[in-house]
Amino acid sequence: MNIHFKENKLFFEGVLLEDIIQSHKTPFYLYSQKVISDTYKNLENILSSEIFFAIKANPNQAILKLMKNCGAGADVVSAGELQRALHAGFDPRKIIFEGVGKSKEEIEFAIQKKIRLINAESIDEIKLINKIGKETNAIINIGVRFNPNIDSNTLDKISTGKKTDKFGISIEQLNEVISLSKSSDHINLKGISCHIGSQIQSTAIFGKVFDTMKKTADLFFSCGIVLEYVDLGGGFGINYEKNHNDLDIVNLGKLVSSVFKNVPYKVSFEPGRYLIARAGIIITKILTTKNNGGINFLIIDAGMQTLLRPAMYAALHRVEALNDLQEKNINYTVAGPICESSDIIAKDIQLPMQKSDNYLVIHDVGAYGASMASNYNSRGLPTEILVNENKFSIIHEEENISEIIERDTIPDWL
């Protein structure tokens, strides 16, 4: 854990946590630059493949700049994310545009920026890109995302590789894709990709994906279509209940080397969560304590507006106390301030006895935390802070209610 005691004081990396808490309103996000950099370097070394950071996991400009400096490319799923990647300095040749629902305007924008690949997710999209190419007298580099009908054995809400999921082109349409790519004069099919879901803990499942994609690539080559890229997606699972027992990346790396030995194309991955989740925490204050129906509630200022995952996915995040850990443990349910019964961060967990104005830390929130935060109940988006050794910097200012209100426009007839 990034929080540790030094001379009886709490530090986050090399920064005294009390200094940050006293100068910034809770709730706020803290990220460790060291954890991000170390995780990226370790993953890149083990997989020996190109890494494209899934921007949707955390699109903050400082985080993107850090990822770019580490050597990552960018995996984007909207024109907005593409703009973020370009603004952070990513080379367009290291940007891949995924996404199950790209508009014509988004595709045209990506073409203008000369990114590496637009990965088509439907037959219609391939035809649309070819049509745009014809209208602009251009040949457009594309990839094709296939749906291999492989169950990731994860939550239905984050499954993307079964034939009933909305993502990708069915592997059963492989011959149609080959025929269409050969007959389309304004596309250049340079790659294939696949992503079957998030939070995958089994290397055996990745083995199925790798075998399928290797056979698919072989078929393209046998039909005279030379591929330059095979992207194997992301979805590397982490264990939110503990700070270990994540997907065995070492074995995954061995599997990549075995299946894709001496292939004539580049192999790549698109992780998001795995690279950033462990690096982030939320510091939140206890607003009040109460007992309802025999349940000891801690009502905190970080709720589903700050961290949506528990309410949306029933996701578990470790919650720990920052006060005197010598107090006796009590069973608590930690709940947010939002007027929704689903606004529960953690149920029936043991913490030292708590009181109002104590602080808690919510772990492993670097991915899909701030990126999914909202203004629900007219609450401002939280402050985000990046820590680098013994210094820190605000990378996203807290919103205030005036800024939120000013976005609204009242018609002149009211």
* 200 close to 152: Cβ distance less than 8 angstroms: yes
Task: Tell me which residues are annotated as active site.
Answer: 339
Instruction: Kindly state the tokens that stand for 248.
Output: 């065995």
* Amino acid at position 151, single letter: D
What does the DSSP 8-state code read for residue 86? H
End-to-end CA separation in angstroms for the chain: 54
Does residue 38 sit in helix, strand or coil?
helix
CB distance 306 to 283 below 8 Å = no
C-alpha 98/C-alpha 78 separation (Å) is 8
Q: Which of 251, 339, 334, 260 is nearest to 296 (CA)?
A: 334
61-70 and 33-47 helices, crossing angle to 10°: 40
Count Cα atoms within 13 angstroms, Cβ side, for 414: 3
Compute the CA torsion angle 232, 237, 243, 244 (nearest 10 deg).
Answer: -80
Query: Residue 258 carries which side chain, given as an amino acid letter?
Result: S
3-state helix, strand, coil in the chain (%, to 5): 35, 30, 40
Residue 411, token pair as written in the block: 């018609």
